[in-house]
């Protein structure tokens, strides 16, 4: 089946790796590095797009490293879920590279390896999406964590450093939980390959306690990375400190890798880990949604509102996982894709707001609607998209999730999802009212800047790289609403590939029953 296409599965992470290495070669030539980023993102997009089409047509693609048969060698497997996320990753990478093309990030940071690090981060993220082996997932996590650690402290500002320490320590603890879980899993099952694990564990009706413990260790490990309820404290402490392109990259990709791993592990390996585990996930999701959004409402700076808000959105995705049915998981996948676009775009827009009004503290901003009409429209599209207003992506994401919950008579889930979205709307409107709608403050420190802001100038034209980048992403937020039907079909297919593992297992272990076992 589709001989000669297997290498596509490994192409996206390799693009990330080589872009990073090439950027290192052009250490002093910042312009070359920026162009390399754009080219790398385009290549990543091309491969991911081809991957989505190939996987949609032929089923999972398996790249066997060194030609070793599956449970013995490392495999990279792209199923539809991975391929979709890779595609979104490439679009976000492109948008952020475009945003940085002209002054999106300060020269000092750029000169000290911002571009190579961003590419290595993409390498780790893409690797985590396509790997077919749980230990290799750990390795990819470490690659992306290492890149994110350095991006987090790049610049050595005081707040960055203290935020980075919390980020580092909590993420390392979660990595060690992950590593311990891998060791315990290997001790009991004797394999680390996803497909093989799924086959070997499917013989259990109910998991034995020792394996349930492994499942819970993994829940904690990925819960920390994703930002689930009691484990998210590192996120508001650290995310608002680095420059905007870095946070946009983190917000779009890092917590989503944790979510990807949660969905992969709990649908694929431990689907039968007892109702108690899924009850846990349900409670954690609902609490995450509520606590995250309340935290966001209480903040007074755009960056902080948006970064605390990430947590609340994570809860929606895991709520889909907790409901467990294919439809609910499809809704979770759709939600994840929507959230990656909307969140990244909101951060990039807040970067433009910051550079235009000199601050992101809401009380000092204002009047942007008068002076920057197009930017306001784009913000409104993304913010209302996030909150879930009808023609936009978030509406359909929430609609699918709520429909899945109603189908299972999970009325409390419905209540939580809808209640939280009201507060989401409230927090987005708060930014809108303060930064765009109200008049800029007449007195205070930023007097000169305030005056500049009221001038109805279109000086910031629509055709700067930054504006094109945010326009592009807002287009995707709108597009996911307009083309919700076909995209929903794709997510449904991806979710079926997760709950019914047969196609995946057959692709990874073709000799199952003959040579092997």
Partner 1 sequence: MEAWIVIVVAVLMALGFYLLMQRSISRIVLGLLVLSNAANMVIFTSPGLLRAKAPLIAGESLAGFPHADPLPQALILTAIVIGMGVLAFALGLVFKIKKILDIEDVDEMRQE
Comparison of 73 and 390: residue with beta carbon closer to partner 1: 73
24 is an interface residue for partner 1 by CB under 8 A: no
**Residues 458-517 within binding reach of partner 1 (CB under 8 A):** none
What whole-number distance in Å separates Cα of residue 480 and Cα of residue 482? 6
Task: Name which of 213, 204, 196, 187 is nearest 272 in CA terms.
Answer: 204
Q: Is 30 exposed, middle or buried (0-12, 13-18, 19+ CB in 10 A)?
A: middle
- Evaluated on CA atoms 495, 500, 502, 505, the torsion sign reads positive
Closer CB to partner 1, 76 or 400, in the complex? 76
Three-class secondary structure assignment of 480-517: HHHCHHHHHHHHHHHHHHHHCCHHHHHHHCCCECCCEC
Nearer to partner 1, 183 or 390 (CB): 183
Near partner 1 by CB under 8 A: residue from 153, 154, 296, 306: 153
Question: Least distance to partner 1 from the beta carbon of 161, Å?
Answer: 5
Q: Select 188 or 325, whichever has its Cβ closest to partner 1.
A: 188
C-alpha–C-alpha distance, residues 116 and 80, integer Å = 28
Residue 39 as a binder of partner 1 (CB under 8 A): the answer is: no
Minimum Å distance from CB 112 to partner 1? 14
Q: How far is CA 393 from the centre of its chain?
A: 16
With beta carbons less than 8 A apart as the criterion, state whether 13 and 123 touch: yes
d(CA 149, CA 154): 9
207-266 residues in contact with partner 1 (CB under 8 A) are 236-237
Say whether residue 180 binds partner 1 (CB under 8 A). yes
Q: By CB under 8 A, is residue 38 in contact with partner 1?
A: no
Q: Does 305 bind partner 1 (CB under 8 A)?
A: no
Q: Which CB sits closer to partner 1, 17 or 43?
A: 17
DSSP 193-234: BHHHHHHHHTT-SS--HHHHHHHHHHHHHHHHHHT-GGG-TH
For residue 175, the minimal CB distance to partner 1 (Å) is 8
**Sole binder of partner 1 in the list 142, 212, 213, 464 (CB under 8 A):** 142
The CB-of-447 to partner 1 minimum distance in angstroms stands at 28
200 lines the binding site for partner 1 (CB under 8 A): no
Distance CA 212, CA 216 (A): 6
User: To the nearest whole angstrom, how small is the minimum distance from the Cβ of residue 149 to partner 1?
Assistant: 6
| Site stretch for partner 1 (CB under 8 A), options 47-55, 161-169, 265-273, 286-294 | 161-169
Q: Rounded to whole angstroms, what are the CA distances from 97 to 12, 104, 257, 292, 384?
A: 16, 9, 20, 29, 25
**Using an 8 Å Cβ cutoff, are 427 and 305 in contact?**
yes
Name the site residues for partner 1 (rule: CB under 8 A): 135, 138-139, 142, 145-146, 149-150, 153, 156, 158-159, 161-162, 164-165, 168-169, 172-173, 175-176, 179-180, 182-184, 186-187, 190, 192, 236-237
């Amino acid at each position: 089946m589709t001989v000669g296409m297997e290498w596509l599965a490994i192409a996206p992470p390799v693009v990330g790796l080589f872009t990073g290495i090439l950027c290192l070669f052009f250490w002093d030539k910042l312009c070359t590095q920026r162009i390399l980023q754009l080219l790398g993102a385009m290549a990543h997009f091309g491969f991911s797009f081809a991957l989505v089409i190939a996987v949609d047509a032929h089923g999972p693609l398996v790249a066997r490293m060194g030609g070793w048969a599956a449970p013995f060698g490392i495999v990279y497997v792209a199923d539809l879920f991975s391929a979709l996320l890779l595609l979104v990753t490439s679009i976000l990478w492109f948008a952020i590279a475009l945003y940085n093309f002209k002054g999106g990030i300060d020269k000092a940071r750029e000169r000290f390896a911002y571009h190579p690090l961003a590419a290595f981060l993409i390498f780790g993220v893409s690797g985590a999406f396509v790997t077919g082996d749980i230990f290799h997932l750990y390795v990819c996590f470490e690659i992306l964590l290492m890149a994110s650690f350095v991006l987090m402290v790049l610049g050595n500002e005081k707040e960055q450093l203290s935020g980075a320490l919390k980020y580092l320590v909590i993420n390392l603890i979660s990595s060690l939980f992950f590593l311990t879980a891998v060791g315990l899993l290997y001790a009991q099952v004797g394999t680390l390959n996803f497909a093989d694990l799924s086959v070997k564990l499917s013989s259990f009706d109910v998991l034995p306690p020792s394996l349930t413990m492994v499942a819970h260790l993994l829940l904690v490990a990925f819960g920390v990375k994703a930002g689930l309820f009691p484990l998210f404290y590192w996120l508001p402490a650290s995310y608002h400190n680095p420059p905007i392109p870095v946070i946009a990259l983190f917000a779009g990709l890092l917590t989503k890798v944790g979510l990807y791993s949660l969905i992969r592990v709990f649908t694929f390996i431990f689907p039968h880990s007892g109702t108690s585990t899924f009850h846990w996930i349900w409670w954690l999701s609902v609490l995450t949604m509520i606590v995250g959004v309340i935290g966001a409402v209480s903040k007074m700076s755009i960056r902080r509102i948006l970064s605390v808000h990430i947590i609340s959105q994570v809860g929606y995705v895991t709520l889909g996982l907790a409901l467990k049915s294919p439809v609910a998981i499809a809704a979770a996948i759709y939600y994840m894709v929507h959230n990656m676009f909307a969140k990244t775009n909101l951060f990039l827009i807040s970067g433009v707001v910051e550079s235009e009004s000199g601050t992101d503290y809401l009380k000092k901003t204002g009047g942007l609607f008068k002076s920057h009409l197009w930017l306001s429209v784009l913000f409104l599209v993304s913010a209302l998209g996030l909150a879930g207003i009808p023609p936009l992506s978030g509406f359909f994401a929430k609609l699918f999730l709520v429909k899945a919950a109603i189908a299972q008579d999970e009325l409390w889930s419905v209540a939580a999802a809808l209640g939280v979205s009201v507060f989401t709307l409230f927090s987005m409107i708060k930014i809108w009212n303060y930064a765009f709608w109200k008049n800029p403050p007449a007195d205070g420190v930023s007097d000169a800047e305030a005056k500049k802001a009221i001038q109805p100038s279109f000086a910031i034209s629509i055709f700067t790289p930054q504006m094109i980048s945010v326009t592009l992403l807002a287009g995707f937020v709108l597009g996911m609403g307009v083309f919700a039907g076909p995209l929903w079909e794709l997510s449904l297919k991806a979710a079926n590939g997760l709950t019914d593992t047969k196609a995946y297992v057959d692709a990874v272990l073709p000799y199952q029953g003959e040579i092997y076992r």
